[in-house]
Amino acid sequence: MPNSYDLIVLGSGPGGYVAAIRASQLGLKTAIVERENLGGICLNWGCIPTKAMLRSAEVFHNMKHASDYGLVAEKISADLDAIVKRSRGVAKQLNQGVTGLMKKNKIDVVMGDGKITAPGKITVKTEKGEEELSAKNIIIATGARARDLPFAKADGKRIWTYRHAMTPPETPTKLLVIGSGAIGIEFASFYNDIGVDVTVVEMLDRVVPVEDEEVSKFLEKSLKKQGMTIMTGAGVKSIEVGDKGVKAEIEDSKGKKASHDFSHVIVAVGIQPNIETIGLDELGVEPDERYHIKTDEYCRTNIEGIYAIGDCTAGPWLAHKASHEGVIAAETIAQSMGKDGHPHAMDVNNIPGCTYCHPQIASVGLTEAKAKEAGHDVKVGKFPFIGNGKAIALGETEGFIKTVFDAKTGELLGAHMIGAEVTELIQGYTIGKTLETTEAELMNTVFPHPTLSEMMHESVLDAYGRVLHM
């Protein structure tokens, strides 16, 4: 049958399209259903275009500090329209790349809104009408969207989600960012770097609250030094939208309420899964306590033949986690069909996290506090950027690298970094954790000189009283 498949993937984000590719490689007849753009939110409206914008901000920041490098740059300015145009061009290029990958791997693409009407059955509303598809297996990869505040519904004019912030109708003059997770702090960093007056309000007691406490404190100090206003332990109680701006009532950490004027607001208070309209309630697919789809370690739901991956499932909500789950699900399905699949369970402790603010943040595994809560007797090492020759040569001396080990076994429990290019460094520790390395292997590894990676070595050495350059 032409519309019958071994696997249909609902959603083509970094989880969905990777799952489809791996399934096709394993010999499964595969289709993918997408309602908007191939590549999903990450490629079109998230990870990639935001990094393009942040790169523009980074270059602008460096230009403003050209004299620090013996250079002269005069009358420089940021053109937000041009920055956005470049960002959209990057997203378009990668969207076309995913289209090419679908053709190369002989994956059928059906554009439209898909709904699972029964196990193994999907109805897709396309421009030409409804199309019925069937498959032995279905992977749900529908992702998530920005969560609204009840009193601050995004209108695209004065109150923005991340999508509005990427294609702004105008340049803000005074910006309020509600929430200091990765999305909020990245946009705060971008707009601050191009000259906008930025205030960040975080209801918890520190910014980027999922990170190690020392990293959070260091980042807050750095952002304030850059000119941002940071309010932690605070909450936005109400927002009144006017023709020329918004008035926000903010309660600070001491319980004092005050009214503040802003030109625009970015709401970055989390996500909610895109699962309401795809037929899950009728099928009996079980959600977790946060209304994300509940899965086992092989991405299986409680309904046979239905799998779920990415942001519509439990966190961490990261593109690379979704992609890896896509491979796991495809391998599991292939194995169940007698193909050469080799699935492996996901270990969330080995998933790195990256935040592309200025300075960057990267981490993997347990924080020092979480390690102690889990009952570990820990050894902790730390090494500052100011002690690294390459960092000094780059003019990037702000930051540190911190490692956490189990004192009894030497197991690497976690690593936490803040500073220039740490998002490129963290994978070294991620590989080490995946290989279950101990301090001995890391200390005996030869790190190249001069590189930022030498700080990783020194941090490990510091945990065991053997640091060389501090």
User: What does the pLDDT look like over 431-449, one tens digit per residue?
Assistant: 999 999 999 999 999 999 9
pLDDT at 245: 96
Catalytic site includes residue 264: no
pLDDT at 210: 96
Catalytic residue from among 292, 344, 376, 449: 449
pLDDT at 42: 86
Cα angle vertex 121, ends 332, 283, to 5°?
A: 85
Name the amino acid, one letter, at 434.
T
Give per-residue pLDDT as tens, 329-338.
999 999 999 9
Q: Does 424 have pLDDT greater than 90?
A: yes
In the chain, pLDDT over 90 holds for what percent of residues?
95
C-beta pairs of 229-232 under 8 Å, 24+ apart in sequence: 229/198, 229/199, 229/200, 230/180, 230/199, 230/200, 230/202, 231/199, 231/200, 231/201, 231/202, 232/180, 232/202, 232/204, 232/205, 232/206, 232/207
Arithmetic mean of pLDDT, 100-123: 96
Buried b (16+ CB within 10 A) or exposed e, 8-24: bbbbbbbbbbbbbbbbb
Residues 6+ apart with CB under 8 A from 456: 401, 403, 415, 425, 428, 429, 442, 447
CA distances (Å), origin 41, targets 24, 123, 315: 23, 22, 16
Q: Does 239 have pLDDT greater than 70?
A: yes
Mean of the per-residue pLDDT values for the chain? 96
Q: The pTM is what?
A: 0.95
CA distance 357 to 185: 6
Q: Does 1 have pLDDT greater than 60?
A: no
Arithmetic mean of pLDDT, 349-356: 97
Beta bridge mates, 149:
152
Give per-residue pLDDT as tens, 10-69.
999 999 999 999 999 999 999 999 999 999 988 888 899 999 999 999 999 999 999 999
Structure tokens at 185: 């702090």
